A and B are shown apart, each in its own frame.
Chain A
Amino acid sequence: MELKDFIPIVQLCEHYSVEVSFFNELHEEGLISITTLEQTSYLHQDKISDVEKMIRIHQELNINTEGIDAVFNLLQKIDSLQNELNKLHNRLRLYENDY
């Protein structure tokens, strides 16, 4: 494990003005994975963009962590449907514009 890829949770709390308990709740909900090393909790930097989205949804829409979990599941579903739609569009092009 490369520590340089991890950001201390306390630093994130300060940066985004959120409580540590919010990160703990996200962790309990299985939305993020917190790594503890020598009594310091860290989050992998690859999850930052997701966490920012979770914070926005929480702060701006007043949605709790259970709600965020539901929202993320639905967004993933939309994403996979969108990909499926793209694939089908591309397959459809096989039968269109016959040369």
Chain B
Amino acid sequence: MTYIDYYKILGINKKASENDIKKAYRKMARKYHPDLNPGDKEAEKKFKEINEANEVLSNPENRKKYDKHGKDWKHADEIEKAQQQQQYHRGRQQRGPGQYSEEDFSDFFGSMFGGGSTGGRGRNVQFRGQDYNAELQLELEDVYRTHKRTLTINGKNIRLTIPAGVKNGQVIKIKGYGGEGVNGGPKGDLHIKFSILNHSKFKRDKDNLYATIDLDLYKALLGGEVVIDTFDGKVKLKVKPETKNLTKAKLKGKGFPIYKKEGQFGDLYITYQIKIPTNLSDKEKELFKELAKLR
């Protein structure tokens, strides 16, 4: 374990008074408290660090041990005992501090930290469990219909109903699926953020879908029918004669399902892109020339 400079973490020097430590801790806690920085992992980490620094430095006895033994301050008593024994058995080689197991912030802090906590409260106080954050990647097609999915969060399987129409970046909260409470406190919540990938031919804006389809020149001129593949199957669409390039058609209720409004859908907008025939045969060229003469 590398040496953790608790003074540096709180932005104070080694001569800081108890009041200076308290002030520095409060200032930093207000800046990095998880409740004031929702979803910010860095702030959460920093908050753990400043809490640990405060736990050590605000207790005069712990501070003294930390100043003397640095990273091994937690084993100060054992070190001093060992040193006394070594002095007793004169002639033996002196052994210095620093041969103890490594622990990190969370290890030290684990028994107290629960969803953003401490600040000198008693250990028998109940704490709500930590909130867990997870991200779930789904394809656009997956969220067209309400479906169930099993997620494994911290080794536990959670069967989750994903409502149709969930949006990219949307977060849903599942109560009681977070970390265990401390001292019988309630469990935290699970926050799932949806990341919706789109590899379909549709683009989504809110509940509407947009697509551009190729339309051959003859169908655009003479009219006809096109068949469009949607998430809900094939849809036949009539094309009016003399349809211009980039004409839009609206298919009401053929868009994306509206979140938590069963049976309600947005609209589907189709843009026609007229495809000009290429590699014309001599005959075709001749006929087009004929047509040109008529205009």
Contacts and interface: CB of A to CB of B under 8 A. Distances in A.
Contacts of A52: 128
Contacts, number: 58
A60 B29 contact: yes
Interface residues of A, number: 25
Contacts of A15: 126
Interface string A54-66: 0011011111000
Contacts of B62: none
Contact of A56 (B35, B204, B206): B35
Contacts of B38: 75, 78-79
Interface in A55-99: 56-57, 59-63, 71, 75, 78-79, 86-87, 89-91, 93-94, 99
Contact of B117 (A16, A17, A56, A75): A56
Interface residues of B: mostly helix, strand, loop or mixed?
A: loop
Contacts of A47: none
Interface of A is mostly: helix
Contacts of B206: 87, 90
Contacts of B168: 86, 89-90, 93
Interface of B: 26, 29-30, 33, 35-36, 38, 116-119, 121, 125-126, 128, 167-170, 189, 198, 201, 203-206, 210
30 contacts: A17-B121, A49-B189, A52-B128, A53-B35, A56-B116, A56-B117, A57-B35, A57-B36, A59-B121, A60-B29, A60-B33, A60-B119, A61-B26, A61-B33, A71-B36, A75-B38, A86-B168, A86-B170, A87-B206, A89-B168, A89-B169, A90-B167, A90-B168, A90-B169, A90-B205, A93-B168, A93-B198, A93-B204, A94-B205, A99-B201
